[in-house]
Amino acid sequence: MEKAYRIKKNSDFQFIYKKGKSVANRQFVVYTKANKELEHFRLGISVSKKLGNAVVRNKIKRAIRENFKVHKEDIIPMEIIVIARQPAKDMNTLQIQASLEHVLKIAKVFNKRI
| Gap between the Cα atoms of 27 and 73, Å rounded | 24
Rounded CA separation 27/15 (Å)? 23
- Per-residue pLDDT band at 37 (split at 50, 70, 90): confident
Q: What is the pLDDT of residues 41-87, one digit of tens each?
A: 999 999 999 999 999 999 999 999 999 999 888 899 999 999 999 99
Predicted pLDDT at 113:
61
Percent of the chain with pLDDT over 70: 98
Helix runs in 1-114, H state only? 10-19, 54-70, 93-106
Q: CA–CA distance from 8 to each of 15, 42, 45, 54 (Å)?
A: 12, 10, 9, 18
Please choose, from the candidates 41, 61, 42, the residue with its C-alpha nearest in 3D space to the C-alpha of residue 51: 61
The reply to whether the predicted model has a pTM over 0.85 is: yes
pLDDT > 90? residue 38? no
| Residue 110: predicted pLDDT | 86
| 41 three-class SS | coil
Instruction: Report percent pLDDT > 90 for the chain.
Output: 79
CB-side neighbour CA atoms (13 Å) of 76: 18
Q: Which of 104, 110, 111 is nearest to 25 (CA)?
A: 104
Determine the pLDDT at residue 99.
Answer: 94
In CATH, what class is 3-106? alpha beta
**Phi, psi (rounded to 5 degrees) for 17:** -60, -40
